[in-house]
Amino acid sequence: MISLGLRYFLEVARSGSIAAAAGAQHVAASAVSRQIAKLEDELGIALFERQARGMALSDAGRQLAAYASAAALEAERVATEIRHRGALGDVTVRLACTEGFAHRFLPQCMAEFKRLRPQARFHLRVERPEEVGRLLLEGLSQIGLRYTTAHDDRLSTEVLCRAPVYAVMCRRHALAGRRSVSVRDLARLPLSLGDQGTTVRQLFDAACANAGLHIEPAYVSNHSAAFLPMLAGSDIVALSGYLTVGGQLDALRLAAVPFSNPEMRQRSVQAQTLQGRTLPGLAREFMDLLGQRLEQGLRAREG
């Protein structure tokens, strides 16, 4: 999938000989020689040093060889991916998400889409936010869903929704009837928080710092829903996004109260793809459904 000239150039660079390169490519030596001369003429610089024992790359040749090798590998990767997709009929939607979406929201979206498109298959990876980004950048996932506070120019944001952090507690809690709470209200209460790698924890720490507070949580986990069953009948407050807990509020008789601290509202849900990547048909359809359900779920809370 790279040009004929570059292919012959790489073969000469590997073998160190026009004759050997011609043999490997099953062409006449004159054909290889013409392509090398054409490349050198186009670039205006010698790519090889002609030596008695063969051809050695010049400095410019080594630079071109590094580029051409990378281009050849990338072309082969793309060709393999295309062949793989063709074999699957473009029916596998490869997803990556952070843990909070994996409990209910994303599985519900997948099940709904499967009913609409029975041929669809899904491959889901649940990772930390930075790992979701890596999977997209390396082409291992087509769609990534995560909470984020920053923008990455290498990724295309297909869906963007505001996703503030809520204080979640049992409905009999002293703070449950409030229109909003502040981090200062939580200073003397047992808190359940995500660990340092989560956006909830990062925003909470920023809000505390700006308020001149230092609050140590009583319960810390990288699994955001781990402590939800503990909230019933207790004074524990968990911090979470609405999409993570929304489907469990009634079942567990919990309340979700917004924060008055602006830091706790500086977060969004982003459904992302790799910049410049065109999604296959089914993946594009799923992205459209995902955007609708994200907006509906978050709008229902704000409404």
Same fold, 4-87 and 165-265: no
* Model pLDDT, residue 303: 46
* Model pLDDT, residue 89: 55
Task: Report which of 120, 123, 114, 109 is spatially closest to residue 281, judged by C-alpha positions.
Answer: 120
pTM, two decimal places: 0.65
Secondary-structure class of domain 4-87 per CATH:
mainly alpha
Identify the residue whose tokens are 């808190």.
191
CATH architecture assignment, domain 165-265: 3-Layer(aba) Sandwich (3.40)
Mean pLDDT of 82-105: 80
Q: What is the pLDDT of residues 68-81, one digit of tens each?
A: 888 888 888 888 77
Is the per-residue pLDDT at 244 higher than 70?
yes
Topology (CATH level 3) of domain 90-161+268-302 = D-Maltodextrin-Binding Protein; domain 2 (3.40.190)
Q: Tokens in use for 48?
A: 């090889």
Residues of the chain with pLDDT > 90, as a percent, come to: 63
Mean pLDDT of 271-276: 92
Q: Say if residues 219 and 191 touch (Cβ distance below 8 Å).
A: yes
Locate the domains of the chain by residue range.
4-87, 90-161+268-302, 165-265
Is the per-residue pLDDT at 282 higher than 70?
yes
Q: What is the pLDDT of residues 156-180, one digit of tens each?
A: 999 998 889 999 999 999 999 999 9
By three-state DSSP, how is residue 6 classified? helix
